Chains A and B, each alone.
Chain A
Amino acid sequence: MTAAQLMLLVSSALVALGVYGMLTRRNAIGLLLAAELILNAAALNFVLFSRLFSHAHAQAFALFIIALAACEAVLGLAIVLSLFRTAKTVWADKVELLKG
């Protein structure tokens, strides 16, 4: 097995573990952590193929992924804080404010 295949396997495992965390976590911050795992798997694949094909665009898009992950973390944590203030919970399945 080459190093490239090993890295592809690692990013597959990261996506699968992120999906598992998304499905099992009840805490909204835990969901954010799982989303970070999936984003990192995508960035790892971008950088790997950028190295293999010597292409700068893929590295630039890995950079964009990191910036978008920062946006996602900031907004997600702001929502969690405001949720904690209004609904007094961070359990994602206890939030039913929008149910009629």
Chain B
Amino acid sequence: MLIATILLSALIIVGAVWVVALQNLFRAALSLGVVLLGIAGLFLVLEAEFLAFVQILVYVGAILTLVVFAIMLTAKLHLPGAAPISRKRLPAALASGALFALLASMSVTWTQASNPPEPAVALETLGQQLVTTLVLPFEVISLVLVASLVGAVAIAAQPSSSAR
């Protein structure tokens, strides 16, 4: 378990560095795919198989495809000089480094209470919780999803079609 975690963590960190550091936005989006697949792998290590497949299906299958479409529609990657000049990197690196130091110090000092390892969450339990205790957030999420889809269509529609 530790070996798989170390390998997947290295994959995720390298991919995440590529996501924020690569100048070519298309390559950054593809390395975001690497990060998302690595996190799905960590979900599998944590015995959350359903979430791993949802992650691959929704993130890699839908969101990443959408992002790649948007990049191809907007960024003129073939033009010379299309690579953007980044804003001040050193202050940003200092700020995020300080944030990482704060979070990492808490992560390293955190220790699990020494109880016997608990069983993994069964998918049946998750499903039952979703339709009993958590039914209100579940319905709110579905409402938000519908609202965002309608809003996206309203925002991205051609102005000529909305004038009719």
Contact between A33 and B67, CB atoms less than 8 A apart: yes
Shortest A50–chain B CB gap in Å is: 6
Number of B residues near A (Cβ < 8 Å) is 83
Contact assessment for B92 and A14 in the assembled complex, using a CB-CB cutoff below 8 Å: no
Within 8 Å CB of A30, what residues of B? Answer: 25, 28
Given A37-B19, A43-B39, A63-B51, is A16 in contact with B108 using a C-beta cutoff of 8 Å?
Answer: no
Interface size on A, residues (CB 8 A): 72
The closest CB in chain A to the CB of B152 belongs to A78
Could you say which residues of chain A place their CB within 8 Å of the CB of B51?
Answer: 43, 47, 59, 62-63, 66
Whether A95 is near chain B, meaning CB under 8 Å from some CB there, is no
User: Could you tell me if B28 and A19 are in contact, using CB atoms closer than 8 angstroms?
Assistant: no
Chain A residues whose CB sits within 8 angstroms of the CB of B108 once the complex forms = 1, 5, 9
Of A15, A20, A43, A55, most buried by chain B (CB within 10 Å of CB) is A20
Complex Cα–Cα for A2 and B113 (A): 13
Query: For residues 4 through 60 of chain A, which have their beta carbon under 8 Å from a beta carbon of chain B?
Result: 4-10, 12-21, 23-27, 29-30, 32-34, 36-37, 40, 43-44, 47-48, 50-57, 59-60
Contact B58 A3 (CB under 8 A): no
- Give the contacts of B13-42 with A (CB-CB under 8 A): 13, 16-17, 19-20, 25, 28-29, 32, 35-36, 39, 42
Asked whether, in the complex, the Cβ of A20 is within 8 Å of the Cβ of B58, the reply is no
Chain B stretch 54-106: residues in CB contact (< 8 A) with chain A: 54-55, 58-59, 62-63, 66-67, 69-71, 73-75, 84-89, 91-93, 95-97, 99-100, 103-104
